[in-house]
C-alpha cells in the first residue's frame, strides 16, 4: 500500500518520536524509506549562512545519524538534503519521488495570536500530493 515513505527530519523531539512510527510503517508495508532534511531559507536570503540557520554540516550529520538509527532497526534508507521553505520542499520531494506517504512530527503552535503563522506540518497536510501521517 505504501511503497515509498518520505520521512522529513530535523533536530526536534517531535521528529524523534515520529521515527518510531516511520519504522513501524516501513516494516509493515516493506516500504522504501527516504529521509529528507531541509535547510530552511527565506525568499530574501542568499545561499550564505545566516545566524540561526542550520548549517549544511549539521544537516549532513543529522542525516547520517538518522540513517544509522534506521539501519540498526534493519531498515535501509536513502537520504536527501534540500534548501528552501520546508513545507514546499517536502511536498515537491514527495511528488518527485512518487511518495505514497509522508510521516512527520507535529510541532504545535499552541495558543498564538498571529493567525498568519502556520506550522510546517499543517502546510504539508494542505499541499502534499499523498497522505500525511502527523505524529503528535
**Residue 69 neighbours by CB distance under 10 Å:** 15
Instruction: Give the Cα separation of 89 and 120 in Å (integer).
Output: 10
* Domain total in the chain: 1
User: Which own/partner contact pairs does 51-58 have at CB distance under 8 Å and 24+ positions apart?
Assistant: 54/10, 54/11, 56/81, 58/11
What is the residue-averaged pLDDT of the chain?
A: 86
pLDDT of residue 85: 93
Residue 97 in domain: yes
Q: Which residue has the cell 534493519?
A: 74
Model confidence over 72-95: pLDDT tens digits?
999 999 999 999 999 999 999 999
The answer to whether the beta carbons of residues 121 and 106 sit under 8 Å apart is yes
User: What is the 8-class DSSP label of residue 51?
Assistant: T
Higher-confidence position of 6 and 40: 6
CATH number at residue 11: 3.40.50.620
Model confidence over 22-36: pLDDT tens digits?
999 999 999 999 999
Residue 48 in domain: no
Residue 19 in domain: yes
Residue 24 in domain: yes
Instruction: Give the Cα separation of 53 and 24 in Å (integer).
Output: 31
Residue 47 in domain: no
Range of the domain at 73: 4-42+53-135
How distant is the alpha carbon of residue 92 from its chain centre? 12
Q: What average pLDDT score do residues 106-126 get?
A: 69
Amino acid at each position: 500500500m505504501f511503497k515509498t515513505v518520505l520521512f522529513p527530519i530535523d533536530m526536534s523531539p517531535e521528529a524523534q518520536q515520529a521515527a518510531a512510527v516511520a519504522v513501524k510503517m516501513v516494516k509493515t508495508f516493506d516500504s522504501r524509506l527516504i529521509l529528507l532534511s531541509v535547510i530552511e531559507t527565506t525568499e530574501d536570503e542568499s545561499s550564505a549562512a545566516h545566524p540561526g540557520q542550520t548549517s549544511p554540516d549539521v544537516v549532513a550529520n543529522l542525516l547520517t545519524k538518522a540513517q544509522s538509527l534506521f539501519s540498526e532497526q534493519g531498515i535501509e534508507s536513502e537520504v536527501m538534503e534540500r534548501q528552501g521553505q520546508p513545507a514546499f520542499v517536502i511536498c515537491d520531494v514527495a511528488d518527485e519521488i512518487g511518495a505514497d506517504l509522508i510521516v512527520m512530527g507535529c510541532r504545535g503552535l499552541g495558543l498564538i495570536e498571529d493567525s498568519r503563522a502556520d506550522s510546517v506540518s499543517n502546510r504539508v497536510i494542505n499541499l502534499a500530493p499523498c497522505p500525511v501521517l502527523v505524529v503528535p
